[in-house]
Structure 1
Amino acid sequence: MTGEDKPRVAFFDFTGCEGDQLQVINLEDRLLDLVEVVEVVSFREAMTEHSDEYEIAFVEGGVATAHDERRLTDIRDNADVVVALGSCAAFGGINALRNHQDFETVKERVYGEDADSITSYPIARPIEDVIEVEYEIPGCPIDREEFLGAVTALVNGAEPSIPNYPVCLECKFAENTCAFERGETCLGPITRGGCSATCVSAGTHCWGCRGMVDHPNEDAYTDVLEANGLTTEEVIEEYQLYWGWQRDQVAVADGDSQPVADGGER
């Protein structure tokens, strides 16, 4: 494939740890396979060159400031396809931990005497709350193979295939002992699979880093929790590491008001 035939790709980082872009860099020798099919024109973690001419934009990190919103709008104007890269960009992720805490306290805890200089919004949001997003690659961090598969699909004009089944299915394939049977709680029944149940296979439990699976079987999950003397509310309260924003969306669907960036309500 010649340079003129290759789609131009750009990577952008917003509020986040940039671990998803590091996963791309960690492809190492397989990066050569990547550049065979795309032309990377902007990638701050890996190159100094930059171009605003690109067809596909991979965006990592969430929305935390007005500046973020303006940058995202510019990226959306330039790109034919926008892909949310990682949990923070896709559904708020770790950043959304602040959403259910007093923001002044959060700023003081993190920034100390510099807290008053922070202009961040009190509510962290995924990028789709600001711009239209065609696809998401979830994970904290993303899975490198899943990323390569998504790029291959996009280059061939296909839709990236992101699993839409719960982690429990992968636990069964791996013949794992259920976390509940080990006396632990777990978000596997309602978390999107695609991670090969890595955490449970390692002897811990699912933290929900890939976000909630579409249309989860909440009744079945509730039955599992009740059998273990727990309620859905208790588990979600314990596991709000990644799901601060998604919890708000469920509340809105139930008729509650939703917090917005200025601390008011929609």
Structure 2
Amino acid sequence: MDRNAPLKIFEQPLNERIRACLRLDHLFARIDHHLESASRNDALCTVLLLLEAADVLSRIDIKRELIKELERQQGRLMNVGNAPGVDREKLDALLEQQNDLIRALHGYHAQPGAHLKSHELLNAVRQRASIPGALCEFDIPGLHYWLGLPAEQRREDIDAWLAPFADIRAANELVISLIRNSVDTMSVTADEGFLQQSIESATPYQLLRVMVDNDADLYPEISAGKHRFTVRFMTLDRQTGHPRQVNEDIEFRLALCRL
């Protein structure tokens, strides 16, 4: 397997904290994608994703979890500060960035996403969005009035709705980035498309990353527990949507991330 070839990356969180972080990362990445366009449909998708992010944040005390993770990562980084080969200037800048985010999160007293729940139009969208096809003009005429505003005005509103998420998002992105880049990848072979490997339960692994060639006609199904994980490579019948396990040896790259 060529280490320089383009890769498709599949990730499996190994605890609930990282699961929530990855979901938020996914939602904000999709928001960024739709913000690149000024169309009505992209504006609607952005609103729906914002509401989805607020719902994710309402199910977990993400501020507390991010503070805990930042402090834990900071402690680990400080322990390696005097190790040979460490760029002390870069490390100090990273530690200061973590301190700034921890202070910002401590200073955020509202429930993340609460500002969206006090907005009458957004509440109407939230209530109707779960009903199939229920965002028509006759369902929420106010929404379609808003979607018909000039793109600059819609963007002003969206930026205002996004602003209170800034510190949460920055902390989330830093946490995930440090975890993703905490270890090098290793080359692994799944015999007849299947790999099972033990995990040291005393080691705080947080994220499993599987990387396959970009042109490979397959994908991994990953499951993980406290003591082991399995990777089963599948191919998909596009006509029926039925998955089928690959029965040949698959070489791929694996990262079992911890920090």
TM-score (norm 2): 0.25
**Which structure shows the bigger proportion of residues in strand conformation?**
2
| Larger of the two Rg values belongs to structure | 2
TM-score (norm 1): 0.24
**Which structure shows the bigger proportion of residues in helix conformation?**
2
